[in-house]
Amino acid sequence: MQRRFNPLEADARWQGVWDEKQSFKASDTSDKPRSYVLEMFPYPSGRIHIGHVRNYSMGDVLARFRRMTGHEVLHPMGWDAFGMPAENAAMEKKVHPGEWTRSNIANMRAQLKKLGFAIDWSRELATCEPDYYGHEQALFLDMLEAGLVYRKESAVNWDPVDMTVLANEQVIDGKGWRSGAPVEKRKLSQWFLKITQFADDLLEGLKGLDQWPDKVRTMQENWIGKSVGLQFRFKPVAPFDSEIEVYSTRPDTIFGASFVAIAADHPIAQQVAAGNAEAQAFIALCKEGGTTAAELETAEKLGFDTGLTVAHPFDPDWHLPVFIANFVLMDYGTGAVMGVPAHDQRDLDFARKYMLAVERVVAADGDEAKPIHDEAYVGPGRLVNSRFLDGMSVEDGKAAVIARAQGEGWGEGKTVFRLRDWGVSRQRYWGTPIPVIHCESCGPVPVPKAQLPIVLPEDITFDVPGNPLDRHPTWKHVDCPSCGKAAVRETDTLDTFADSSWYFIRFASQPKDRPFDRETVEKWLPVGQYIGGVEHAILHLLYARFWTRALQHMGQLGFAEPFTGLFTQGMVTHETYKSPEGAWLAPQDVEKQGDSIVMVDTGAPVTVGRVEKMSKSKKNVVDPDDIIAQYGADAVRWFMLSDSPPERDLPWTESGIEGSWRFVNRLWRLFGQIEAGAEGADKPLDRKLHQTIDGIAKDIEALSFNKAVAKIYELANAVEKAAPSASRNGAIRALALLVAPMTPHLAEEAWADMGETGLIADAPWPTVDPALLVDDEVTIACQVMGKLRDTITVPNGTAKDELERLALAAPNVVRILDGATPKKIIVVPDRLVNLVI
RNA sequence: GCGGACGUGGCGAAAUCGGUAGACGCAGCGGACUUAAAAUCCGCCUUCCCCUGGAAUUGCGGGUUCAAGUCCCGCCGUCCGCACCA
């Protein structure tokens, strides 16, 4: 009778035990070292995706491992529960967004529980509950009071059919993604958070985040987009009468300027167009130009000569033409630039087309000033043809021009950021209501904190377009808190990125009467290890960093960075299949027949496509529920951690999960092999065990789960081959502890089977005997001219001259040397001997 | 175009500081057990050759070194991010 692990029975039983004993409840008062392990909380779409399983399996291994190594671990879970899909579902399925969301949460919670994650469920939260968003409203009011929130007119994408604002990615070819109606630009009064106030600090802070992937830091750096330069004014040459303000990061090249270019929607361009049909036509042309990446790349630099001229700041007799140009953007800098063709590629392309002067003003070091042809020179060098700047470096030249401009009053040094303030107004129902009341006489008035939370009304409808809050018969009508007259509530709700900007703080501390308790939060935060998808590299992580800074700025928290360690895991991928007709096929609709893949029902040949991210449209998805039902949670978790490095994509394969399932059973058989009477030490096995304990601990801390998995296999192989002994029994017991973070149900089952009374989840990580980490015999490579010719086995620490002697005597070395005497002998102790002839 | 990451067997990969390339897993092949299958166990598994051994081999071409997957220079390719940012 074979010992076979019954996962369905064991999974449920141990999950019940952990639940009942509250094994993973984090104590705020423990004096153990603390460890906050967090994975990005999911949007409750209704089903857990295999990518979630990978994400949470990784975090769970770390959380369980840290518990075993004596940490008090906070490993919580919650729901990013506001957002559009709930409203879409409401429109399509006539179900209330709250009902839809809450039932999705219930489903997904059950799915997650089936995976046996070591989560403190007592801290579970959903951002759509007043108990959460009410506190968010309080934080919003704090920010308002601290001057971090303001209201501004801003252009939005307006869908006139759905009567709603669309995000940029919801506008496809200028049309609303749902209604298909042409999208209008509308000016709306919107709420903004002053993220730009922290722009420099957010940029500087990146330098200290050395446990973040460089990739993410670079992406944030580019997003913040700091540039340092000179903002200055060109004086008009009569009859023209307006100054043109431009921004340049290269004021040092000012003597190479040959034109000024303004954006098509620049006020001066508008003035010119007022009496000029040609200019009007050109501006229209600029606007209809595509905005996609490919179009922009190939778009020709086009300009329209306004006939106007301005004077060079250093020479009133030097006149520069003013062009309207399609490559100048109104919303960056001042919407106008000085064109220096020799040192900017776009300006050069433009100058060649309109036959403008190209004069080199920077000479590369050690190089005479060669004329510029098709390529602008943007490198460092000395300034030439630049009057008082001649001979200066680029850096000195910048400083000198800025100093002169400031001294003479026509310009000033200025730092510009690409980062914009964060517009948080959404004209939607399913979000956090913005706690402000608009009063005709008092203006926008903050809701008194005592009146929070402002709860979303339940009785709403989605049968007509527009925001249900706005058309609700009573909800928005309130008295002004300031003057008492009739007023209306703000009907916009907050961007859902606001909800995810502080949930990790609320996890640490959940008082009823305020957002969090500072002292408790500071015990847990910053989050030591945050794990999630790279798709959140910019927005979510930047907003959370801002929000934390805002709290610090307001004196509510004592730290600026919310996440010390960040890890971005790869996607789960799967082969794709297509029928002869070209339709995508699901994995369960195809089967292997000999060397080819065919359709299950018709037997028609299937084309196997590339391995791609799992997506519903390509049907290459597997459902975690099905897999768990078939193999149990542990086999799935094991597979998620095996083979591929966690930052890389993981190809899901049927044979891979089969292999994991086989190994789970192999471990289970092994756990039953403790022999009561076995005695004696097995030194090599002891060594292997202790090296494995040490190695796995390091691998898990480095999140190199694939390497930890490989070491488990090696140890299991070694234990299987070993003869019964006390050492072997010890190794089997230790193996259960080593796999406990990865396959916890199996480990608990084995632990109980071994007669242990406590939970393995509470057991300490096995201790390492440092004496056993080194082998007492080592294999030395014997090389001749760097080529391996033989190996010798010697005691660890054998002296150099002894190694040299033994290597020279090795049979294959003797044969290759053929009597020759080595000119030089390199000996690396415990490693190799290399003979040079 | 700019920035970043990566490139190792049929596949996923490993290789601490430059020191025996391919650990470990998957697939495959051969065998044992079985009436048979599944499960399990044992063995083989980079390529080539004149096979007790030898040669080549970490995308390609150079270089440094006693020694290069690892360091340097130049190409090629794949993926990701940003993008007319002045």
Give A399-425 as a DSSP string: HHHHHHHHHHTSEEEEEEES---EE-E
**pLDDT digit string (tens) for A707-716?**
999 999 999 9
**pLDDT digit string (tens) for A4-45?**
788 888 999 999 999 999 999 999 999 999 999 999 999 999
Question: What is the three-class DSSP state of A498?
Answer: helix
Q: Which of residues 290-349 of A touch strand B (CB under 7 A)?
A: 293-294, 296-297, 299, 301, 326-330, 332-335, 337-338, 344, 346
**pLDDT digit string (tens) for A138-175?**
999 999 999 999 998 887 778 777 777 776 666 666 67
Closest protein residue to B5 (Cα–C1'): A215
The pLDDT assigned to A701 comes to 93
Q: What is the largest CA-CA distance in chain A?
A: 109
**pLDDT digit string (tens) for A511-547?**
999 999 999 999 999 999 999 988 888 888 999 999 9
Burial A746-766 (b: 16+ CB within 10 A, else e): bbbbbbbeeeeeebbbebebb
Per-residue pLDDT band for A2 (boundaries 50, 70, 90) equals low
Tell me what the mean pLDDT of segment A654-670 comes to: 91
Structure token digits, residue A476? 């928005």
The pLDDT assigned to A172 comes to 65
Range name among A68-82, A528-542, A598-612, A744-758 with the lowest pLDDT average? A598-612
Q: Which of residues 704-733 of A touch strand B (CB under 7 A)?
A: 704, 706-707, 709-710, 713-714, 717, 720-721
The pLDDT assigned to A173 comes to 64
> In the complex, which nucleotide's C1' lies nearest to the CA atom of residue A246?
B86
Closest CA to A432 of A41, A43, A44, A81: A81
The pLDDT assigned to A31 comes to 93
**Residue A654: CB less than 7 A from any atom in strand B:** no
**Residue A814: CB less than 7 A from any atom in strand B:** no
Other Cβ atoms closer than 10 A to A837 = 12
**pLDDT higher than 70, residue A797:** yes
Per-residue pLDDT band for A343 (boundaries 50, 70, 90) equals confident
CB A197 within 8 A of CB A148: yes
CA of A215 to C1' of B4 (A): 6
The pLDDT assigned to A772 comes to 85
Distance between CA atoms of residues A641 and A660, nearest Å: 10
The pLDDT assigned to A376 comes to 80
The pLDDT assigned to A73 comes to 96
Question: What is the three-class DSSP state of A123?
Answer: helix
**pLDDT digit string (tens) for A566-619?**
999 888 888 878 777 777 888 777 776 655 677 777 777 777 777 777 877 777
- Write down the ipTM of this complex: 0.92
Range name among A215-229, A692-706, A722-736 with the lowest pLDDT average? A215-229
CA of A211 to C1' of B86 (A): 34
CA of A402 to C1' of B31 (A): 84
CA of A378 to C1' of B75 (A): 24
Q: Which of residues 126-155 of A touch strand B (CB under 7 A)?
A: none
